[in-house]
Chains A and B, each alone.
Chain A
Amino acid sequence: MKTCLVVDDSSIVRKVARRIVEALGFHVIEAEDGVEALVHCKKAMPEAILLDWNMPVMDGFQFLGTLRRMPGGEEPKVVFCTTENGIDHITKAMGGGANEYIMKPFDKEIVLAKFQEVGLVEREEETAA
């Protein structure tokens, strides 16, 4: 089973995200900020990271930069999931090594589409073919 690390300072968002990502077949672990997320990644790299931008201690963008410089840190598919919906933020995130970008509010359809886009979830047609 693939693991998805959900990083968000809001426990409500983490709960919603957990429910969606678990329904897609992932084992979910949670972190409240970038520092806590790094601790998890040092222990074991997850396959997927759903990442908020604005968080105390270490924000999502700083976390991403640190992650990508870590040994094995290029492996996880990182999908931002944030209220920052401006093109400037999106450009910055993608330039910083993110794989996809979700603008909040989000739902299961969006997470599924983005996870399929980066190859974390297979498309139905592909499995059928």
Chain B
Amino acid sequence: MNPPDYEYLRKLLKERSGLDLSADKQYLIESRLLPLARKAGLSGIPELVQKLQGGSSALITSVVEAMTTNETFFFRDKVPFDHFRDTIMQDIIKARAGRRSVRIWCAAGSTGQEPYSLAMTLKEMGAALTGWRIEIIATDLSQEVLEKAKAGVYSQFEVQRGLPIQMLMKYFKQTGETWQVNPELRAMIQHRQLNLLQDFSHLGTFDVIFCRNVLIYFDQETKINIFNRLARQIEPDGFLVLGAAETVVGLTDTFKPIADRRGLYKPNDPRAAAAAGAAAPRMAAMAGR
């Protein structure tokens, strides 16, 4: 791929989705965009870039979607879902015993495996949540991905990655070669299109935010900005769940890790966070004296 084309695509993706590709991701662009170019009847990446520069907004949308769609599977990494059941929900059941409601946001809901895994986990908790109002909001940047999540139809291959057979038998209906999530589970989830770079305050506040394996694609500054805005949408005693390779440490004081629960964070008391932020320069000034 010629360098100007690569630079153009990098810049476009950064502006539209926040995706921060390093200088050596040509292979990623080629593997994702070449099939897309062919499908659009174009000869290759150079012609695709030409069309994009010509301002084809439909094509820009497909390019952004193709580059930001990530592989996912049911109960991905397993442990966060155990934490969700054994730590987060146990805490919430006590803390929200009065109002008996919980709001959960899957901020990188992708093709639906994560929100459906959460819904199944909640269903499996049975009587502990009887009479509770449960809201799961799953958002993703891509409309195409959302449509798939909403339909809840998965291939035989997809339902075998991470989904225990008992769960498949209990929560899915087989139709030919595919499996569809049952209507009761589907009704637990609202799917909405959302770009994390844009304002999301309209979603309201949540008890739990799952935001796994999406921030890794953003640069430092964007991550900090998103963390700070996530902090405003989370209840003071709520939980933030990040991917295994992600952390807030060194980026923001708005969240603090929970000991022995990898990937789990709690919002810091806003005053404590402000004090911690203010204390650092003062200490430095004192040291310099």
Binding site for B on A (CB under 8 A): 85-87, 90-91, 94, 100-103, 106, 109-110, 113-114, 116-117, 123, 125-126, 128-129
Contacts and interface: CB of A to CB of B under 8 A. Distances in A.
A114 B157 CA distance: 13
Interface in B150-195: 156-157, 160-162, 164-166, 168-169, 174
B47 interface: no
A113 B262 contact: no
Contact of B166 (A94, A106, A113): A94
A90 B165 contact: yes
A113 B169 contact: no
A102 to B, nearest CB: 7
Given A100-B165, A125-B79, 5 more contacts: A87-B169, A94-B165, A103-B156, A114-B160, A117-B164
B11 interface: no
20 contacts: A90-B165, A90-B168, A94-B169, A100-B164, A101-B165, A106-B160, A109-B161, A110-B160, A110-B161, A113-B162, A114-B165, A117-B164, A117-B165, A123-B79, A125-B78, A125-B79, A125-B244, A126-B79, A128-B262, A129-B262
Nearest to A128: B262
Contact-residue size bin, chain B (C-beta under 8 Å from the other chain): 10 to 19
Contacts, number: 42
Contacts of A129: 79, 260, 262
A16 B260 CA distance: 39
Given A90-B169, A94-B169, A125 B77 contact: yes
A109 B80 CA distance: 19
